[in-house]
Amino acid sequence: MSATCEFQAKDYKSDLKPIWCPGCGDFSVVQGIYRALAAIGRPPHEIAFVSGIGCSSRIPGYTTAYGFNSVHGRSLPIAQGIKLANPDLLVLAAGGDGDGFSIGGGHIAHLIRRNIDITYIVMDNQIYGLTKGQLSPTSQKGRVTCTSRYGSMENPVNPLLYVLAYGAGFVAQASPTDLAGMAATIEEAIRYPGFAFVNIQSPCVTYGEEAQQIKGLKAISESLKELGHNPEDRLAAMDLAQHYGEKLHLGVFYKNPEPQPTYDALVRERQALLSKDALPKERILDLFIKK
């Protein structure tokens, strides 16, 4: 890791002008990310920021870093390849609820169990915005959308319980209703040594429901700190997480007080341990000599 130098939030803002709808919650999220990165102070060229496809997945383009706007649902596989190839990098992954919990839902469990040191930010708006308003995996049951004209017949995924159940070491929630809190939460997630998950309730102003706009979110939001929640208590965190959809708990649900070694650190250990056994590359075929 290089020496920390002074960076300001604007140093992480790219030249691309966001094309989100005016009032989109993602404007706040990208600001929160700039602020968190400035607080951490890693230079932009040491940051890799990967996303999938969706409105929110445009976010690496609006950030000065090595960005990768990849394919739908696959930000995490790509991010883990980056981290394993170069563990010195700060690796962020981001996307929407459809990207993360529907098409890419199978990957989260495995990043969690490997505990790769990546911060994963999901901008959860309970709708497919980019494709103009279809049902998403976090849409409430009964919700009417253009693919559920008579109301959804499915229960939504609970992203918080999902990652807690798989054993994620850091689980938090944030919202544009509290930008400073969001920036602080993202910063804490990045600083956590291991897989960290931040669910951000980021309203869709075009296809989102009234109750999920800023005003509605404010009405149901509660600070976990003010509730006196102990973030080292995983079961208490799971208890609170059950209220996803009814309440908006903001802050850290769970932070493992004794972080497990990360996969990337174990990879380094193994490399160091075995490098002495390496045949020179030009003699690698000697492995096949039968004496």
Partner 1 sequence: MRKDLVFGMAGSGGDGIVSAGDSLLQAAAAEGYHGVMTKSFGSQIRGGESSCRVRISTTPILNPGGNLDVAVALNWEDFLKFGAELPVAGTTVVIYEAATGIKETEIPLVGVTPLQVIAVPIAAMAKETAGTERAKNTVVLGLIAGWFGIGAVAVMKGIRKKLAKKGEELVEANQRAFDAGRAFAMEHPLKASMNVAASETKGQVKLITDGNDMCGAAAIFAGCQFFGGYPITPSTEIMQFFTDHVWKYGGAVLQAEDEIAGIGAAVGASFAGKKAMTATSGPGLSLKSEMMGLATIAELPLVIVDVQRGGPSTGLPTKTEQSDLFAAAFSAHGDVIRPVLAPTSVADTFRITIEAFNIAEHYQTPVIVLSDQEIASRKETLDPIDTSQFKIIDRLRPAAADLVDYKRFKQTENHISPISHPGMLGGTYLASGIEHVESGAPTNSGNVHQRMNDKRTKKFDPLKDRKDLFEVTGNPDAPIAMVAWGSVAGVCREALAMAQAEGLNVKLLVPYLLYPVAENVYNDYFASVQKGLVIEQTHLAQTFKLLRMHLDLPKGVTSLARSGANPFLPGEIVAALHRLLSELQRSHEGNLQPQE
* Site membership for partner 1, residue 16 (CB under 8 A): yes
Q: What is 217-261 written as a DSSP string?
A: HHHHEEETTTTT--TT-HHHHHHHHTTBTTBEEEEEEEE-SSPPP
Among 104, 106, 86, 83, smallest CA distance to 94 is for 104
* Site membership for partner 1, residue 74 (CB under 8 A): yes
Measured from the CB of residue 176, what is the shortest distance to partner 1 in angstroms? 24
In the list 45, 132, 215, 225, the residue contacting partner 1 (rule: CB under 8 A) is 45
Q: Contact region for partner 1 (CB under 8 A) — 72-80, 151-159, 201-209, 219-227?
A: 72-80
* Site membership for partner 1, residue 232 (CB under 8 A): no
* Site membership for partner 1, residue 285 (CB under 8 A): yes
State the amino acid at position 170 in one-letter form. Answer: F
Q: With contact defined as beta carbons under 8 Å apart, do 56 and 94 qualify?
A: yes
Q: With contact defined as beta carbons under 8 Å apart, do 91 and 263 qualify?
A: no
Q: With contact defined as beta carbons under 8 Å apart, do 187 and 205 qualify?
A: no
Per DSSP bridges, beta strands 170-174 and 248-255 are antiparallel
Q: Contact region for partner 1 (CB under 8 A) — 65-73, 133-141, 171-179, 246-254?
A: 65-73
Segment (H or E) for 48: strand 47-51
Tell me which residues in 129-168 interact with partner 1 (CB under 8 A): none
* Site membership for partner 1, residue 5 (CB under 8 A): no
Measured from the CB of residue 95, what is the shortest distance to partner 1 in angstroms? 13
Residues that bind partner 1 (CB under 8 A): 14-16, 43-48, 50, 53, 58, 60-61, 64-71, 74, 76-86, 88-89, 106-107, 109-110, 267, 270-271, 273-275, 277-279, 281-285, 287-290
